[in-house]
A and B are shown apart, each in its own frame.
Chain A
């Protein structure tokens, strides 16, 4: 959340917002009921998850490759899982409650234990 709301006399004329992309201060990850878990071992780096994610929540490394989920913003819609074409799927949905207190690595092992 913004630190402090502006006073009426601090608001710019026309409601101008001077700070592009400042909605990143608003962390939509807290909306999530379910979360996708990623398995890099089966991922074919097609980037479909990236092109279809409504919340820019697919992390991208300096080579333009899929590098995990940004749980700060991921709303848990599940589109990435649905669209992931690798066989087996490299993304799976679990309940957010099941992720509590576990590291990403632990979750990965748990969710993808039957796969390479």
Chain B
């Protein structure tokens, strides 16, 4: 990866003037994505699902995008990009274009884990060449922090509130990476904007794969999670250092862990600064933190074992 000074000279794919909250990381991630893309070699076309990022960066008559960008609905970013990519392939075949174009779909967890899952599954199964990026902020943030299947265990949201009867979300997060992997796609990865070099490597790699690729990115949300805006990157770093958000790749089914914390921090380091977890620290709720830690440890151990095993998918698409 080039030095940041080199990357900073490039024309930005996403510009200022968007209306994301101060300290929102949706744009941080996308800026890193554009910095990583080899835009001397190819052009980028983006499709976006509804969500904070879409409404803040495409507020008519304004757009913050310096590349062709298309939005149609909440649930269909993957279908939208499929259509564009299919048209491009036909144009290429017919000699209507000789441009090299790479396609990116971007959505948050609501538009990916939940309502957009069918469209995404279809697009991967059909084998379109595109990179799907999920900026996972653990809830439906744009409509005011409703629970999604990506909301962590114990997390308080407006539809899984903490109160006298309940303690926040009762279910663990959906393991979307395993769902995606089930399609036996060539490349999937998990990344964090705090570890920009790793994120950029993954984006660059994914954009060069001839087939569908997926990157799940943690997207700390100051407003919904309840931490001060200046701590957004720190929050992502803590998620990585506690193994709440492992950085890894799945290359044809083979797991590669990209970062193993020298000292794996206890999950409380990550939970404590966030208001959505404040109730977990009340007297009598110790068992909830223990359960949270147990889930994180179990998942991390499982990943380590998979890496050690080093096995690829039984069947891959050629």
Contacts and interface: CB of A to CB of B under 8 A. Distances in A.
A63 B3 CA distance: 12
Is chain A's interface secondary structure helix, strand, loop, or mixed overall?
Answer: loop
B4 A50 contact: yes
A78 B229 contact: yes
A2 interface: yes
A47 B35 CA distance: 13
Contacts of B73: none
A109 to B, nearest CB: 24
A72 B93 CA distance: 46
A56 interface: yes
A64 to B, nearest CB: 3
B62 A52 contact: no
B22 A45 contact: no
Contacts of B60: 15, 17
A17 to B, nearest CB: 5
Contacts of B35: 51
Contacts of B24: 54
Contacts of B66: 20-21
B22 A57 contact: no
A29 to B, nearest CB: 9
A72 B9 CA distance: 20
Interface string A79-110: 10111000000000100000000000000000
Given A5-B61, A26-B17, A64-B9, A79 B229 contact: yes
B217 to A, nearest CB: 14
Contact of A77 (B22, B57, B59): B22
A25 interface: yes
A52 B61 CA distance: 27
A51 B64 contact: no
A13 to B, nearest CB: 13
How extensive is the interface on chain A, given as a class?
35 or more
A46 B4 contact: yes
Contacts of A75: 22-23
A20 B4 contact: no
B14 A56 contact: yes
B28 interface: yes
B8 A73 contact: no
Interface string B20-48: 10111111100110010000000000000
Contacts of A24: 15-17
B32 A25 contact: no
A56 B30 CA distance: 11
Given A56-B12, A63-B5, A21 B65 contact: yes
A47 B57 contact: no
Nearest to A1: B62
Contacts of A52: 28, 193, 196, 233
A77 B18 contact: no
B234 interface: yes
Contact of A55 (B27, B32, B232, B234): B27
Contacts of B58: 17
The 8 tightest CB contacts between A and B, nearest first, are A78-B230, A23-B17, A64-B5, A77-B23, A73-B16, A47-B4, A75-B22, A77-B22
Given A31-B22, A55-B27, A82-B233, 14 more contacts: A6-B61, A19-B63, A20-B67, A23-B18, A47-B5, A54-B23, A54-B26, A54-B28, A77-B230, A78-B23, A78-B229, A79-B230, A82-B230, A93-B230
